[in-house]
Amino acid sequence: MPKGKTLFVSDFDDTLAQTDARVFVIRNGKRIPMSPEQYAVYQERPGDKFDFSEFNELKNPRPIIRFSKLLRAAVLDKKADKVVVLTARGHTRPVAQFLKMIGIKTGVSIAALGSSDPQKKADYIDKHIQRDGYDRVAFVDDSPKNIEAVRALQKKHPKVKILAHQATTGEHKPKKDTPSQQAKSQGLEYFGFGRYGKDGKVTHTVKDGKLQKVIKKN
């Protein structure tokens, strides 16, 4: 029997990582900030406008250990024929910076949809099933709307095994041994791009998901 093809797709915000980026809902002239977790379950109201500009940068990223490890395993252990980070963000750069921070430099495609429409993620996966012949799909996302849209593909592709897992709030809680928590306990300031330090000097960096002290070269 020929070997099947597996596609592994993961969301980014509140699935692989938590950041300080917020969505702003503009309603009646007011700007209402929301975390990605809040926005994932937000029901849009008539007249709402949205500002996603903070997602153009990677703001204070904290890996969500369970799914970061799952992504690393999919890449390093070659558990999938293609691994994709599928984000609603409009730019791939912040995701690429995060992947490098946790030790993943190759083996992952990044698709930035520039849209929070759940159907866009379903369409992306649908296109790959039809074009490339994947018969197994694993999808991880914190948004119930995105999960529902991808699960609906099962009716269109009854012979494809589609596993869509919703990353729940409990799974998002950072562990005490995350780099962010370690740095905080040492009184270090975050300088961006996985760098921490004191008095304006970088003393620690995050490498392979771990906080490590910078060794000065003579």
pLDDT band at 1 (very low <50, low <70, confident <90, very high): very low
- With beta carbons less than 8 A apart as the criterion, state whether 60 and 180 touch: yes
Model pLDDT, residue 36:
82
Return the CATH architecture of domain 6-17+58-171. Answer: 3-Layer(aba) Sandwich (3.40)
Model pLDDT, residue 212:
86
Lowest mean pLDDT among 35-39, 89-93, 155-159: 35-39
Q: Tell me the pLDDT tens digit for each residue of 134-192.
A: 999 999 999 999 999 999 999 999 999 999 999 875 554 544 467 777 887 788 888 77
Look up the pTM and report it.
Answer: 0.73
Q: Given 3-state DSSP classes, what are the helix, strand and coil percentages for the chain, each rounded to the nearest 5?
A: 30, 30, 40
Segment 14-26 mean pLDDT? 93
Domain range list for the chain: 6-17+58-171, 179-213
> 109-112 and 136-141 as β-strands: parallel, antiparallel, unpaired?
unpaired
- With beta carbons less than 8 A apart as the criterion, state whether 42 and 25 touch: yes
Model pLDDT, residue 192:
76
Model pLDDT, residue 2:
43
Q: What is the DSSP letter of 101?
A: H
Contacts of 3 (CB under 8 A, 6+ apart): none
Model pLDDT, residue 216:
73
Q: Tell me the pLDDT tens digit for each residue of 100-113.
A: 999 999 999 999 99
Model pLDDT, residue 174:
46
- With beta carbons less than 8 A apart as the criterion, state whether 149 and 125 touch: no
